[in-house]
Chains A and B, each alone.
Chain A
Amino acid sequence: MKLLLKGGRVINPAGKFDKIADVLVEDGKIKEIGENLAADGAEIYDATDKVVTPGLIDLHVHFREPGQEAKEDFESGANAAAAGGFTTVCTMPNTKPVVDDAAMVRSLEKRAEDVAKVHVKIIGAVTKGQEGKELAELGDMIEAGAVAFSDDGHYDQKAKVLLNAFDYLHTFDKVIVNHDEETSLVEDGVMNEGHRSAMLGLKGRPTVAEDIAVARDIMLAEYAGSRVHVAHISSARAVDIVRQAKKRGVRVTCEVTPQHLTMTDECVNLFDTSTKINPPLRAQQDCDALLEGLKDGTIDAIVTDHSPHAQEDKDREYIYAPSGFPGLETSLGIMLTDLYHAGKLDLPTIVSKMTCEPAKVFGMDAGTLAVGKSADITVIDPELCWTVDEKKFYTKGSHSPFIGRELKGKAVLTVVAGKIVMQDGEVL
């Protein structure tokens, strides 16, 4: 089976390639990239005025399986990914039970094979049950295919346990992804500590909780010579801590979400629980620092932290609602509308942070349009205007602070291993 994507602006940051070209796909692989390629019996997709990029990669999603399939499962989550233009997603292990051994990794890989329309990679837990006490069987999980390790959602690792994990993983060159917020400083906080929290009376989660956690983890990784990846960085100071660490050669990377880049705690009100996320929406100065971090290379990846919940979980008093919202279907639209069209980031940078750079963080063979590689491709219409409508979501989650937003720019075609899995918003 052949597919020819014709006449699009091909942006492939890994190959420093950015021009109008055709992309020919054959047998699930990229066969050729060039001008005026012969169709030669291939199905033709007219990509004129569109942007052809490597398939988007998301290092941070919660698909809730096993244990909380009412919120999401591998099928609905992968469909949401395909709808949003993603071809590879990495699932966090904070399921019930936790993904903390090779058998679990293998069973989820099997599930992905059976029901997921995009590539799903598994992140294993650092510690058994994500309890922060004993190391999980990291080596076994790596052999089973785990791409990284994380106790995401918790920050309960004692320094000694984390240092052990860094030392142990050094042999395998795998990265630990940490949700960095010092527990004793965030307690039952539900939003950023600032003027807004002071006047709403909601308990705050101060930026310093993130800053000291990022600093600690970087120091430990540096001491061990191992790799650490800071999940959903949100504070200006933390960005600077990562920047300084990178300068002195520490093997640290980090990621940011569209929501932390574009929204502040001024968006928080007492009735819309969709703004409740961890770490919380911060201040404008933090948004500015995150943008700067993306531009100067301090921040490596844009991720969604896709966190769907059931309607009845989110529809309640703000302080009792669980944190997070599903982001796979809005991420690209927000980046294009609020950053590209707003003149803050250029297209190649956004593509790079959603493809080759995240692939590099987890050492995955993906995120580039190169001859012979798996044909994971996203076609984007950067001018397409659309409105975020939860009724059209493929995710089971129906809550998002972006609902109702009018956006400009959207993925219109998702190709996974040469197969079209989404066209014009419809998952096939």
Chain B
Amino acid sequence: MGKTNVSLRGKNVLGLEDFSPEEIRLVLETAKEMKNIIHRDIKKVPTLRGKSIVTLFYEPSTRTRTSFELAGKYLGADVVNITAGTSSIVKGESLRDTLYTIEAMGVDAIVMRHKAEGAAEYASRVVSPVILNAGDGAHAHPSQGLLNLFTIQEHKGHLEGLKVAIIGDVLHSRVARSDIYGMRKMGMEVHIAGPKTLIPRFLYQEPGVIVHERIEDAIANADVIEVLRIQLERMKGGLFPTTREYARIFGLNDMRLKLAKDDALILHPGPMNKGWEISPFTAYGDNSAIQEQVQNGVAVRMALFTLVLTGGKQE
């Protein structure tokens, strides 16, 4: 690794399908430096002083919005939050007009979460500030994909050749899609499992993705297990019988964890439905990196802001 000519300056962060392995490596390296800042007593650097960032959230969020906000503030940027319930959006303003309004105020970056797949890409084609996708429907959540890679790399020292099992509600998961792109690009072996009703029917056609019906088959000998949240709020019902049965047949617990490598790392994008897709013991056990993910999220988002708004350290 080391010196590279890659620059992310001005790049819209829409999905990891648009990132090269070199670009991903650059983000992970930069995030390592950023993590040191978070551990300082005075967490403030002037990197983005004079830059302004808007977070535009059409869907509820605690960790992602706060994480982006703190990331911007630690770097010295001015950050303003807009959420759907408290803005002109409730008056029926179109996405295009909302974006024009924000752009007209001289904003440098817009962090956007939206229910509609492609909303961030639409925004990137409508206005000039850099767009960072903080989740668009079931499509992508690139910063989550990157923080997952960062967390794995911190623990394992490398990414290539690792076997990851992604289990649960893949159908509704933007995280899973960003993981698949990001992990495949970094040379990881991706195994997927969950109830068939929650796995996209033709996902098996994606090169390098192995889909299993039983989660035991995906977990077997895995280096990393990512458990996805059951997104009941996006379901119309009937996709599985009960959460009780789900937990029994498709949930991750300490028994099933034994099938993986001893040092297998457990990830969950949060918020967790403890007792459903993951047992509380497993979630808080020795293998779990779920809390670390949250901290790493801030570091990765600081890296993204720095790289897209300043290009990072040049020379």
Contact = CB atoms under 8 A, between A and B. Distances in A.
Interface of A: 187, 193-195, 197-202, 204, 206, 269-271, 312, 315-320
Given A199-B203, A271-B125, A316-B96, 8 more contacts: A195-B203, A195-B206, A199-B177, A200-B139, A206-B201, A270-B136, A315-B96, A319-B116
Contact of A270 (B95, B118, B205): B118
Contact of A201 (B95, B174, B206, B236): B174
Contacts of A199: 17, 177, 180, 203, 206
Contact of B117 (A194, A202, A312): A202
- In the complex, the 7 A-B pairs of residues with the closest C-beta atoms, listed nearest first: A270-B118, A201-B138, A198-B200, A317-B116, A201-B139, A195-B205, A195-B202
A204 B117 CA distance: 13
Interface string B138-163: 11100000000000000000000000
A320 B116 contact: yes
B298 interface: no
A192 B17 CA distance: 21
B137 interface: yes
B131 to A, nearest CB: 12
B121 interface: yes
Interface residues of B, number: 27
Interface of A is mostly: loop
13 contacts: A195-B203, A195-B205, A198-B200, A198-B205, A199-B17, A199-B206, A200-B117, A202-B139, A270-B118, A317-B114, A317-B116, A317-B119, A319-B117
A317 B94 CA distance: 10
Nearest to A201: B138
Contacts of A195: 202-203, 205-206
Contact of A198 (B125, B206, B236): B206
Contacts of B138: 201-202
B180 to A, nearest CB: 8
A351 B174 CA distance: 47
Contact of A271 (B122, B177, B202, B236): B122
Interface of B: 17, 94-96, 114, 116-119, 121-122, 125, 136-140, 174, 177, 180, 200-203, 205-206, 236
Nearest to B122: A271
A7 B166 CA distance: 69
Contacts of B200: 197-198, 204
Nearest to B205: A195
B173 to A, nearest CB: 8
A210 B254 CA distance: 44
A198 B201 contact: yes
B311 to A, nearest CB: 26
Given A199-B177, A201-B140, A270 B121 contact: yes
Contacts of B205: 194-195, 198
Contacts of A194: 202, 205
A14 B144 CA distance: 63
A320 B117 CA distance: 10
Candidate in B125, B139, B174 with the most chain A CB atoms within 10 angstroms: B139
A269 B140 CA distance: 13
Contacts of A204: 200-201
A269 B15 CA distance: 13
A379 B177 CA distance: 51
